[in-house]
Structures are given as C-alpha cells and as structure tokens.
Structure 1
Amino acid sequence: MLWSFFKGILIGLPFVFVVGPALFSILQTSISKGFYSGLQLAIGISLSDMLIMFLCYFGLIQYFENDNFQIALGFGGSAIMVIYGIYMFNKRTVNQPINKELKLKINWMGVFTEIIKGFFLNIMNPFLWILWLSIVSSGTTKNSTPEAIGFMLGIVSMIFTTDLLKSFFANKIKRILSSHVIIIINKVAGVLLFLCAVFLTIKTLITFNLIPFPFH
C-alpha cells in the first residue's frame, strides 16, 4: 500500500502546473481572505477529487456516464464559474486590513461556505470526471482494494499539499499589496473564471455535438 501511495504522489505531481478555475480561485481567495480561507477551499477541491475517484473505482461511475448528466455538469459548472467570477469582479472591499495581525476568529458558516464552494467548483467539470476515470482505471488495474485506495490517497495528498503551498505563498504576497492592487487581482481572477466558463461551455457543446462543427 505504501508503494501505491508513492505512485499516487508521482501521478499527482504534474497537477502542480495545471492552470484552471481551481488555481485562480485558490490564489484569489488566499489573497483576498487569507490563508485559512484558501485552506478551506482546497479541502473542498480535494474532497470532490476523492469522491470522483472512489465512484470511478467502485464502478458507480456508470450511473453518471450518460450524455445528459455530463452535459448538465458542463453547463452547471460554467454557471457556477460565471456567478463566482462576477462576484469576484464586483468585489470592491478587502475583508480585513492587510497591515495588521488579526486574531483568528472561526466562523463555522464561513468555513463550510468555502469548502462547499471548492467542492462544487471542482466537481461540476465533466472533463475532470473523464480524467480521473482514465487515471484510476489504468492506475489500479490488478491492484487490491487497499492498494487502490493508497494510490488514490497519494494523488489527492499531492494535489492538496500543492494547493496549500499556493495558498500559503499567495497569502504571503498579500502582505506587500495595497488594497487597490487586491481589488485589481479580484477583477482579473473574475475575468479568468469567466473565460474558463466560456471555454467549458464551448468544449461541452462541441464534445456532445450540440452545435454543428464548422469544418465538417
């Protein structure tokens, strides 16, 4: 199981360099709200990754593989990105002063909000399901259940660790940024999320032949 866990870590390593809505959200949240909010968002993302992988491994993915479900995921994910992107673009205030050390106050509703946001932002991407299905199918062939679980935990652990590092360094950068710069970062992140939503919508339309491809 330990070797399977290590293999999972190696498989998860390339995801350090993946640029997408999850990355934009973690960086923006960490800069705007702090490390702990970025941590909560990363937890939600990792939980959704783990859920999809378990569904793939235990065969339950077959209930989610029909085109209608995948199309709903594509459009639903795009809608979430658009709404979140608009929210970030219009966000004009910084949650807390960046030139003070504030005591940590735990707001449980806020904690669950960030976790839920990360969970649905990640899980509503139908192409992520396809990615994990191919990785889990090829990576767990002829493995026992404990070995397969170790493999999947290795992948998620690697992704979660790198997400934490991104959140940590983004929060460190925050301390040298002015409120005006943070507002600009919010707007840029909002635009990038909107562009991701447009890309996901177009990819969904083309993949499932919902629009005629111009070169056919």
Structure 2
Amino acid sequence: MIEDIQAAIPLGFLLSFMIGPVFFVLLETSATKGFRAGVSLDIGVIFADLVFLLIAYFSSYQLLENLSNEPGLFVFGGMILLVYGIVLFVKKPKKKTHLQATKGNYLGLFVKGFLLNFINIGVLAFWLGLIIVVGPSLDNSPDRMIVFFGTVLLVYFGTDLLKILLAKQLKRYLTQERIVLIKKGLGIVLVICGIVLIVKGFLPKDKFDIQDEIEKIEKL
C-alpha cells in the first residue's frame, strides 16, 4: 500500500500542472474572486474527475472502444468549449467588478468547474488509459485501485490549493484593464482547446487512436 501511495503522488502533482482550460479558469477565478471561489470551482473539477474515474473503472475496454468509434463526442465537447471561449472573449466587462464572490455564487462555481471538466471527453479517455495501464500493476485489486487513485486525486487537489493561494496574491495587482485582458486571453485558450477537440473528432481513426496514445504513456 505504501508503494502504491508513493507511485501516485508524482502523478497527482503532474496532473495539477497539465496546461488546459481548467488550469487557466482556476487561476483567473482565484485571482479575481478569491480563495473560496477558487476552491468551489476546483471541487467541481475534482468531482468531474471522480465521476469520469468511476465510469472508466466500470466500463474499461468497452467504453474505450466506443470512444474510438464515436468521434462525434470530441466534436460535441469541442463545440461547447469553442462557444464558451468566444462568448468570454467578446463579452463586455461590467462597469463594477466585484472581486469577492457571494455565498450564493459558490454552488454556481462548483457547477461551472464540473461542467468545464466534464465536457472534455479527452479527460475520460485519459482516465481510461491510466486504468488500463496501471490496473495490472495493482493486480486489478479494488482496494489498491482506491488507494492509488484516491491518492492521485488528493495530491491533485492539494497542489491546486497551493495554486489558488498564489493566484490570490495577484489580486492586488489586477486592475479593470488587466482583468479584461485575462478574460480575453482565457477565451482564446478555450477557443484553441475547442478547435483541437473538434479536429480530433474529424481526424481518421488511424490518425488519432486512443490505444496508441495509451501505449505512448506506458513507454514513458
């Protein structure tokens, strides 16, 4: 069990620094709305990861094969990210910016974090691949799987808390103009991520095969 925990810690740390839409949204939310807002968003993100992890565990190879045969799922997720990014980019800022979220907004931020992570079907593919790669080394034991992936998510969340704390320190330097620039930059990132997912959906299967990506991870 100790060996499983030690193996999971580096993975959880690395996952927290994977550059993607969630990474930038978390930093922007924490810096502009405060620590609690960032934590609320991040809990939603982690919850989506947990749901994906459970789906991946109980579906395993069958769902992995379905993902390879249903590129429309990538297109659907990509379109949502693309539209959200465009709206964020063109949306005009409010005259008054409230840097602290009210209590009623925390649930909304949780839902936002959950949906932002959940619509990215690539996250599900990642957890599927990780289970397939790591499962045999854990003897496919449910207890060992719970310890390993539970540690991954805990380290992931703990590292995110440090990022949220650091982002909060930036709040004093954020003027109205800088906040607008951050949001527009975030919109561009989301648009790019959405386009990447859409392109993956239209690529021939032999150009983007999930099983090949899993084998590449296994060789690292």
TM-score range, shorter chain: 0.7 to 0.9
Say what the alpha-carbon RMSD is for the aligned residues. Answer: 2.6
Verify: 1:121 aligned to 2:123, yes or no: no
Q: What is the one-letter code of the residue matched to 1:29? A: T
Q: 1:111 aligns with which of 102, 106, 111?
A: 106
Match of residue 213 from structure 1: none
5+ long unaligned stretches in structure 2: 208-220
Distance in 2, matches of 1:4 and 1:17, equals: 21
Verify: 1:17 aligned to 2:17, yes or no: yes
Provide closer, same or farther for how the CA distance between residues 63 and 143 of structure 1 changes in structure 2, counting only shifts above 3 A: closer
Distance in 2, matches of 1:159 and 1:69, equals: 31
Distance in 1, matches of 2:49 and 2:61, equals: 13
Scaled by the length of structure 1, the TM-score of the pair is 0.81
**Is 88-97 or 179-188 further displaced after alignment?**
88-97
- Cα displacement (A) at 1:34: 2.2
- Cα displacement (A) at 1:188: 0.9
Distance in 2, matches of 1:76 and 1:168, equals: 34
Distance in 2, matches of 1:46 and 1:61, equals: 23
What is the percent sequence identity of the aligned residues?
30
* Secondary structure of residue in 2 paired with 1:92: coil
Structure 1 runs of 4+ aligned residues shifted over 4 Å read 67-70, 207-210
Contact 2:79/2:198 (<8 A) preserved: no
**Is 78-87 or 13-22 further displaced after alignment?**
78-87
Deviations 1:52-98 (A, max 9, x none): 1222223367357424884343123223322332343215136415x
Provide closer, same or farther for how the CA distance between residues 117 and 131 of structure 1 changes in structure 2, counting only shifts above 3 A: same
Contact 2:27/2:167 (<8 A) preserved: yes
Verify: 1:27 aligned to 2:46, yes or no: no
- When you count helix as a share of all residues, which structure comes out higher? 2
5+ long unaligned stretches in structure 1: 211-216
- Cα displacement (A) at 1:22: 0.9
Distance in 1, matches of 2:41 and 2:110, equals: 5
Match of residue 199 from structure 2: 202
Distance in 2, matches of 1:132 and 1:82, equals: 23
Scaled by the length of structure 2, the TM-score of the pair is 0.80
Distance in 1, matches of 2:73 and 2:110, equals: 19
Distance in 1, matches of 2:85 and 2:187, equals: 4
